[in-house]
Amino acid sequence: MDIRVVFARNLKHYRQLRGLTQAALAAAMDVDRAHVSAMERGQQNVTLQTLQRVAAHLDVTPANLIEEHSEIE
């Protein structure tokens, strides 16, 4: 599976698990909500720095965001 799709699914899953909206996550990361939306649709090639920032704001490891999890749809 495309790593962007895996990241997108995991990002959305962990964001919702934390009870955050796209806007809230975007504000915490100091980016536009559209950027978070594009990441969640797999339309962004995120940098390693962005991966690390997202993970920190969601309180997960970067590996959690790029590993395929069969229970996450």
Mean pLDDT score, 13-26: 98
Q: What is the pLDDT of residues 24-64, one digit of tens each?
A: 999 999 999 999 999 999 999 999 999 999 999 999 999 99
pLDDT at position 53: 97
- CA torsion through residues 10, 38, 46, 17, sign: negative
Domain-wise residue ranges, the chain: 3-59
Residue 70 clears pLDDT 90, i.e. is over it: no
- Per-residue pLDDT band at 69 (split at 50, 70, 90): confident
Nearest residue to 29 via CA among 9, 2, 11 = 11
Using an 8 Å Cβ cutoff, are 8 and 67 in contact? no
Mean pLDDT score, 64-68: 95
Query: How many CB atoms neighbour CB 11 within 10 A?
Result: 26
Q: Which residues contact 48 (CB under 8 A, 6 or more apart)?
A: 62
Looking at CATH, the fold of the domain delimited by 3-59 is given as: 434 Repressor (Amino-terminal Domain) (1.10.260)
- Per-residue pLDDT band at 73 (split at 50, 70, 90): low
